[in-house]
Amino acid sequence: MRRAIFSIFSVCLCSLFAQRNLIPTDSPAVEAGRQIYMGACSGCHGATGEGSQGPSLLSGRASRLPDRTLLNSIQNGLPGTSMPNFPMGSEKINQVAAFVRSLTAPAITTQPAGDVERGKRYFFGAGKCSTCHMILGQGGHPGPDLSNIGSERTSGQILESIMKPSARIAEGYRGVVAALKSGPTIQGVAKNHNNYSVQILDKDGRLHLLNREEIAKLELMDASLMPSTSDAAEARHLVAFLARQSTRMKEGALSK
């Protein structure tokens, strides 16, 4: 009986693997898919897959469909829903799927174009990114650690954070100013806060664990503390550099 279950499990596992890698990942396919998507799909799913009338393609079930299911959904639609069929031929179906996949692919897997070394110089130099961000212990506080950002974000999300830092502020990085009843004012990011306490990380990497009764005035900011950049060229190189920050991909180099 155990062997039978194992065999069934093995078949399922093999089927699962067999469904993978049906969708191209090359840049021309992704770009061709993007053009089709903008005409046929973005009206319901949003220009970046964020969803509007249709579900988000960035999170939830729609972001986790196996290759075969995704391809079938585009080609045949989903009966009983607003998702129509798109009888455009398998090559175009594959291209659309390639673009959809790229919306959620970690940056380390897409290897976006750009001068990685130039991006690194900008990060640690003129861009002053390392004043507030760290990579493997190099850099400053209190911005998010970027050691593994290539595995945690898509290239598009990284670019958005650079160009429009206030569009999305990561949990625990909202700017805060706390004027204490005892006199001093503490500025940094609110790692957490509620009606009873606030935990603030300042630019020197020091934590202030405060009860609200110690605070005369607490101001939480809606805009990111990070300034935006309008230099698209430098941003492109910076994305190329940050996209390659992935700790587990580097484990060989980091090990003894």
Partner 1 sequence: MRFALVFCIPLFAAAQVTPEAIANSPNAEWLTYHGDYSARRHSSLKQITPDNAKSLVAKWVFHIDGAKKLEASPIVHRGLMYISNTNEIYALDARNGRKVWHYSAKNAKGTRVNRGSAILGDKVYFVTADCHLIALNRSTGNLIFDVTYASFDAGYTTSIAPLAIRNGILVGVAGGGSGQRGFVAALHPDTGKEVWRFWTVPGKGEIGSETWGGFPAEMGGAPTWTTGSYDPQLNLVYWPTGNPWPDFYGGRRPGDNLYSDCVLALDAATGKLKWHFQFTPHDVWDWDANENPVLLDAVFRGKPRKLLVQANRNGFYYILDRETGEFLHAKPFVTKLDWTSGLDDRGRPKVIPEKIPTPAGTKVCPSVRGASNWMSPSYNPATGLFYVVALEQCDMIVASAKEPVASSGFRGTGNEGIPTEPGRFFLRALDVLNGEIKWQYPMPGPGVMWAGTVSTAGGVVFTGDDDGNLVAVDAKTGKDLWHFSTGHSLFASPVTYMLDGKQYVTIAAESDVFTFGLFQGN
Contacts to partner 1 by CB under 8 A: 127-129, 131-134, 136-137, 141-143, 145, 147-148, 151-152, 162, 172, 175, 177, 180, 184-188, 191-192, 194, 196-197, 199, 201-209, 211, 225-227, 229, 247-248, 251, 254-256
Residues in the chain: 256
Q: Which residue, 20 or 248, has its beta carbon nearer to partner 1?
A: 248
Q: Which residue, 121 or 203, has its beta carbon nearer to partner 1?
A: 203
CA distance 198 to 178: 9
Minimum Å distance from CB 250 to partner 1?
Answer: 8
Q: Which residue, 82 or 192, has its beta carbon nearer to partner 1?
A: 192
Minimum Å distance from CB 5 to partner 1?
Answer: 15
Q: Could you give phi then psi for residue 138, rounded to 5 degrees?
A: -100, 120
Minimum Å distance from CB 236 to partner 1?
Answer: 15
Radius of gyration of the chain (CA): 23
Burial class (CB in 10 A: 0-12, 13-18, 19+), 76: middle
Minimum Å distance from CB 239 to partner 1?
Answer: 13
Whose CA is closest to 175, among 224, 113, 217, 111?
224
Minimum Å distance from CB 132 to partner 1?
Answer: 6
Minimum Å distance from CB 2 to partner 1?
Answer: 11
Q: Which residue, 64 or 248, has its beta carbon nearer to partner 1?
A: 248
Q: Which residue, 160 or 202, has its beta carbon nearer to partner 1?
A: 202
* Interhelix angle 116-124/232-243, nearest 10 degrees: 100
DSSP string, 125-171: TTT-GGGT-EETTEE-SSSPP-TTHHHHS-HHHHHHHHH-TTS---T
- Name the strand (E) or helix (H) holding 193: strand 185-193
Q: Which residue, 42 or 199, has its beta carbon nearer to partner 1?
A: 199
Helix or strand or coil: residue 188? strand
